[in-house]
Amino acid sequence: MAQGATVALPVVVAKNEPLEFRRWEPHTKMALGPLEIPYPAEGEVVQPQAFLISLLGFDDAGYRLGYGAGYYDRTLARYDPKPLTIGVGFELGRLPTIHPQPHDIPMDFIVTETGVRDHRRHTAP
């Protein structure tokens, strides 16, 4: 933020719908949402260029297991092009496969305490 970046936090606007992202600053008034997760109670809706997404599990193909509601998959599916996605979790959540479903969207990067995995798909020029 000190270098001009905008920070936004997710807001569940309706069950089984994509997330909305509202601008956040240290003085932003917060409210409690599902699972008592704080979110900006009001403010400008923004379209993120990059996502930091928590994960419970992940595999070597970059797919993540979240909390089971599918909010991030629905949200990312509406963007074209897809924003940069960075999954953040712990190495103990690494699995041989999460058995991804057709609607699952892989992360570009997975970050754990052991390092950063780059899962971007490179294509030949």
* Active-site amino acid positions: 64, 73, 104
**Residue linked to tokens 């089984």:** 16
Q: Which two tokens stand for residue 24?
A: 């956040």
Asked whether 22 and 13 are in contact (CB, 8 A), the reply is no
> Does residue 94 sit in helix, strand or coil?
strand
